[in-house]
Amino acid sequence: MHFLDQAKIFIKSGWGGPGAVSFRREKYVEYGGPDGGNGGKGGDIIFEAVAGLNTLIDFRYTQHFKAQRGQPGMGKNRYGAGGDDLVVKVPVGTQILSDPVPIAGTEDEEDGSMEYEQELLADFTQVGQRIVLLRGGDGGRGNLSYKTSTNRAPRQHGTGWPGQEMWVWLRLKLLADVGLVGMPNAGKSTLINQITNTKAKVGAYAFTTTKPQLGVVLHRDREFVLADIPGLIEGAAEGAGIGDRFLGHIERCRVLLHLIDATGDDPVQAFRIVQDELAAYGGGLDEKPQLVVLNKGDLLGPELMEDIAAQLRDEAGVEHVFIISGATGEGMPELLDAVLPLLDEGVAQEEEASGEEDKPWSPL
């Protein structure tokens, strides 16, 4: 299945049905009076988060969503049926944003460009979460409702209120417990293949991974979801290599694993670049608990690996740098052992922040 994490769609709720103009006509009833019923309400546009979806690819082929119009009223004071609501199903983790609008006073005098902002309309973090984004129009009044003491036979009626319409952007941010970050060709795909059932593409070149990957890790009878995003390059937070979209997929992770290629030209500089991009992106990414992991330990000698790890400890200000090999699995148990308590701390902090005793929603 193709992965798509952003889509623009048009939505329109249903118009209300028109009211009826009708008069009672029965034998032996000379002046029956008006009996036109009201029109039915138009259908709503409803968004619902459902399980089993992890991409917005369906919205590439269907981009217009219109709810049904309400039925017209009828004689004998019969109301029209309401239009059917249209339920748009989206993956958990989807955000709905308004169409971008220019920010006043941000126009560039040289090229005329402006800054834009979007309003967050909805954020789906739980299966079954629903929201009525656009309400259908009310039905028009039938001529019976216009009857007064001075107007005994009204012929006017309501045509029905119009529905609402707008363009919105859908943006998917994957929900995972642990996020895997690093420079291109750091070995992230090899690592996720080693500890999960994911079959991510592996290659000896940069940008082998071109879309986010999810995998379930089972360790010591515990399960958690690991997200692998494509490699980050300098300027990713500003959109270089669409890195800003990739970083969005790890905003909700509780723990980050920063993977560094020990065979790279400058592992310490690679660490700095990714850290700078996390800080520049915002969203608290640079404040999340993070484990520094030195990969490809099977390709260099123990003394050289320890020397590089010592440099990273000084640069990152951490007591321990994990030395692993994604290809052979060396060092994996120790790394996963360190992840579990950090996940527990993250759950406890979320419960404290929400003030709820119930366990927060998990991707599993």
Annotated binding site for Mg(2+): 189, 209
Contacts of residue 100, defined as CB under 8 A and 6 or more positions apart, other chains included, come to 116, 117, 118, 169
| Pairing of the two strands 222-228 and 178-182 | parallel
Helix (H) or strand (E) holding 345: helix 332-354
Amino acid at 348: A
Distances (CA, A) of 217 to 1, 111, 160: 22, 50, 55
DSSP 81: P
- Rounded distance, CA 115 to CA 253, Å? 29
DSSP 99: P
CB 160 within 8 A of CB 139: yes
- Rounded distance, CA 65 to CA 11, Å? 5
DSSP 183: S
Note the Cα 328 to chain centre separation in Å: 35
Rg of the chain (C-alpha set): 29
DSSP assignment string, 237-258? GGTGGGHHHHHHTTTT-SEEEE
CB 23 within 8 A of CB 130: no
Comparing CA positions, the residue from 292, 262, 261 lying closest to residue 275 is 292
DSSP 285: G
Q: Could you list the residues known to form a binding site for GTP, using ranges.
A: 182-189, 228-231, 295-298, 325-327
Comparing CA positions, the residue from 203, 229, 201, 231 lying closest to residue 214 is 229
